Amino acid sequence: MTHITHVIKRSGTAVPFNPDRIMNAIYRAAVAVGGRDRERARRLTEQVVTLLEANRPDGYKPHIEEIQDAVEKTLIENGHAAVAKAYILYRDERNRSRRTAADKAARPSDNIPWAKIWHVLDWATRHDLHTVWRLNERIAHGEFPQIVHESEAAYEDNVDTAASLIVKRRDKLKMVMVSGPSSSGKTTTTVKIEQRLQREGLKFVTLNVDNYFFDLEMHPKDEFGDYDFETPQALDLALINEHLQRLSAGEEVLIPFYDFKTGKRALDRTPMQLAANEILLIDSLHGLYPPMTEGIADEMKFKLYLEPLLQMKGPDGYIRWTDLRLIRRMLRDATHRAYKPQQTLEHWHYVRASEMRNIIPYHSTADFIINSAMPYELALYRARLFDSFSQWAEEYKDDPLREDAYTRAVRVKTMLEAVIPVTDETAVPPDSVLREFIGGGILPH
């Protein structure tokens, strides 16, 4: 039983001390360099706590930086140099991110596809959908069905372009990777591209990379103790890469099977081999993550990236794409995963941190980018979730452990409050990418 009860955050706020967060941080650093010994992480955590408590009076509250220093010291003294390096690099990355926040605001971000954004903004301006107030005016004039039609047509044009680019490279292609951050619409877009390519005589074989998850007990956890399915290190990247290389060479491989009910993976389960006219179709958060396909020649793979690149100004400036995806995931998780929207909000900061490190920075390596945003979706979300965000904004107001959830709740509440709600969703096509999240769709998800 530790004598430490609280920790001082960088903001100066005192929060309850939880040794599991230290253990999870150590384990995540170990996973980053190929280690998966959770028991060793637990023993190292005990040493860190002992070090922190040494010669300290009862009631002592260590600063978060002091705790991180103790972790580094313990890892190095126990001979875990590689793990210590991974931990130090991640810590340094976070510190640099905090220090340069002001600089980033003053210069263009490398994480934004600026060329694509120009076209999206031009489209939004031409369709009078570049601000919330213009959207409201069109809704007030009874134009909601027309807004839906215009938005869906723009998305379908993007899908058509992606499909045509793939067809042009059909002679050398072995795989199509559909990638993008959480709730960007990958599943629906994958189905739509497959439909188009089938009409061109191309035959696809779907590879579900979820089957390459390590056993649940080997997964890293987030700071709240939840298993982290968002990080690429939750996947057996080495095995994926090996199988992709062998499939590209025409060899047969045995695909594993991951049972989400038991959290266990069975190896060598399903045989797969590509025929001469077949191409792998892979829908994955981490399709652009280099280690997943590092052994595959570029001409053999087509990399597609999705993001809801909405270009619309609201009360606080341009509406953030991450907020759209947060709402989408709330709705999808509640419908398909029995996961409460509030839980999604509380966990989103971790989703966001992972995608900012492992997904979004690689958008520039994509062969084409699809904008999956629907300007009209804001009106639907206003009707569905505004009251909830208002409630969360109050609930998290004075909770130091939920600062991120509070900030997001307030921001989304302010944004939704400015939008005219629409409750009649019949204008939304049954095969719309939004049906992946709001329900009522006809495409397989």
Q: Please tell me the distance from the alpha carbon of residue 441 to that of residue 64, in angstroms, as a whole number.
A: 47
Residue 443 within any structural domain of the chain: no
- This prediction's pTM: 0.81
Question: What pLDDT, on the 0 to 100 scale, is given for residue 101?
Answer: 47
Provide the residue-wise pLDDT of the chain in tens; the chain has 445 residues. Answer: 567 888 888 777 788 888 888 888 888 888 877 788 888 888 998 898 888 888 788 778 888 888 888 888 888 889 888 887 777 777 766 666 555 544 554 556 788 899 999 999 999 999 999 999 999 999 999 999 999 999 999 999 999 999 999 999 999 999 999 999 999 999 999 999 999 999 998 988 999 999 999 998 887 776 666 677 778 888 999 999 999 999 999 999 999 999 988 999 999 999 999 988 889 999 999 999 999 998 899 999 999 999 999 999 999 999 999 999 999 999 998 887 778 999 999 989 888 988 988 899 999 999 999 999 999 999 999 999 999 999 999 999 988 889 999 999 999 999 999 999 999 999 999 999 999 999 999 988 7
For 200-265, where are the alpha helices, taking DSSP H only? 237-248
Does 182 lie in the same domain as 324?
A: yes
CATH number for the domain including 427? Answer: 3.40.50.300
Does 410 lie in the same domain as 279?
A: yes
Residue 60 within any structural domain of the chain: yes
Does 411 lie in the same domain as 286?
A: yes
Burial classification of residue 8, based on how many CB atoms lie within 10 Å of its CB (0-12 exposed, 13-18 middle, 19 or more buried)? middle
Enumerate residues 6+ apart whose C-beta is below 8 A from 361. Answer: 110, 111
Question: What pLDDT, on the 0 to 100 scale, is given for residue 102?
Answer: 45
Residue entry with tokens 């996961």 = 339
Tell which of 42, 70, 105 closes a domain.
Answer: 105
Domain housing 219: 112-438
Quick one: which H or E segment has residue 267? strand 264-272
Residue 1 within any structural domain of the chain: no
- Give, in order, the Cα–Cα distances in Å from 109 to each of 112, 320, 353: 6, 14, 16
Tell which of 61, 76, 105 closes a domain.
Answer: 105
Does 66 lie in the same domain as 141?
A: no
Q: How many domains does the chain have?
A: 2
Burial classification of residue 180, based on how many CB atoms lie within 10 Å of its CB (0-12 exposed, 13-18 middle, 19 or more buried)? buried
Does 42 lie in the same domain as 169?
A: no
Does 403 lie in the same domain as 346?
A: yes
Assigned token pair, 364: 């520039």
Q: Please tell me the distance from the alpha carbon of residue 62 to that of residue 24, in angstroms, as a whole number.
A: 18
Question: What pLDDT, on the 0 to 100 scale, is given for residue 10?
Answer: 77
Q: Phi and psi for 141 in degrees, rounded to 5?
A: -90, 10
Tell which of 71, 105, 139 closes a domain.
Answer: 105
Residue 445 within any structural domain of the chain: no
Question: What pLDDT, on the 0 to 100 scale, is given for residue 97?
Answer: 57
